[in-house]
């Protein structure tokens, strides 16, 4: 499958990719506040690490030279490109937040949902 990424300037990529990380952080904060699950986050620049109660991690990492977002989870590694307003997996075209929700649900042992920033 060949995706046709939406052309982005470096500043557009930076803005959109960091909005994704900020949305994930905000959702984790909400899950913690609502006492749904205790996920610790640690962010260093374009890298966001989610640590789950069972010791597993999901790592999200921006890749500025490639204009991609990478996700490493227990189920594997995934690369996402920006296509028509959504971040899509370069192999399966699965949407980023859908995949993150599935990985987080599996690693937390309970249903978790993440959505794109508005």
Q: Which two tokens stand for residue 117?
A: 């920033």
Is the pLDDT reported for residue 1 higher than 70?
A: no
Mean pLDDT of 17-45: 96
Whether 95 and 85 have beta carbons less than 8 Å apart is answered as: no
pTM reported for the whole predicted model: 0.95
Strands 57-63 and 40-44, bridge-based pairing:
unpaired
Domain parsing of the chain, residue ranges: 10-108
**E strand or H helix at 19, and its extent?**
helix 10-33
Superfamily for the 10-108 domain: Frataxin/CyaY (3.30.920.10)
- Exposure string (b/e) for 57-86, b if CB count within 10 Å is 16 or more? bbebbbeeeebbbbbebeeeebebbbeeee
- The predicted pLDDT at position 3 comes to 81
Residue identified by tokens 């949902």 is 113
Is the pLDDT reported for residue 83 higher than 70?
A: yes
């Amino acid at each position: 499958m060949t995706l046709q990424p939406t052309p982005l300037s470096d500043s557009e990529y930076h803005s959109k990719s960091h909005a994704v990380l900020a949305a994930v952080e905000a959702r984790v904060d909400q899950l913690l506040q609502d006492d749904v699950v205790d996920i610790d986050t640690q962010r260093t620049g374009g890298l966001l690490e989610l640590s789950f109660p069972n010791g597993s991690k999901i790592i999200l990492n921006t890749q500025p030279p490639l204009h991609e977002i990478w996700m490493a989870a227990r189920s594997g590694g995934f690369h996402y490109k920006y296509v028509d307003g959504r971040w899509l997996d370069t192999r399966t075209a699965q949407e980023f937040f859908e995949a993150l929700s599935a990985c987080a649900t599996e690693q937390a042992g309970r249903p978790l949902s993440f959505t794109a920033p508005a």
